[in-house]
Amino acid sequence: MFIWIFSVLVKLSIYLFINSYGIAQLIGVNKWWKMLIFTVPVIFAISLIPANIFGILDYASLVWTTFIFPIFIVGLPILFLSLV
C-alpha cells in the first residue's frame, strides 16, 4: 500500500513540475516555481469536475435519501430537543 501511495505522489509531483515548467517557458517567466501559484488552483478546480454526471447523480440521490435526509430531518431535531 505504501509503494502505491508513494508512486502516485511522485507521479503527481512530476506532472505538476512539467506543467509549471512548461507554462513558465511558454510565457517567458524565469522562475518556474512562481507558476505553481496559478497552476495548482486550476488543476485542483479541473479535478473536481466529474467524468460521469449521471453516475454522480445516482450516487448523490442514493446517499442523500439514505443517510443525509434522515440525519437532518430526524437526528438533529432529536439532538437539539434533548439539549434543551
- Record the pTM: 0.54
Contact 50, 56 (CB under 8 A): yes
Report pLDDT for 7.
Answer: 92
- Work out how many domains the chain is built from and give that number: 2
Q: Write out the DSSP string of 25-70.
A: HHHT-S-GGGGHHHHHHHHHHHHTS-S-HHHHHHHHHHHIIIIIHH
Residue 38 sits in the same domain as residue 62: no
Report pLDDT for 38.
Answer: 86
Estimate the crossing angle of helix 2-27 against helix 36-47, to 10 degrees. Answer: 120
Residue 26 sits in the same domain as residue 44: yes
Between these two residues, 84 and 13, which has the higher pLDDT value?
13
For residue 61, the enclosing domain spans 52-84
Residue 80 sits in the same domain as residue 60: yes
Tell me which H or E stretch contains 14: helix 2-27
Residue 44 sits in the same domain as residue 83: no
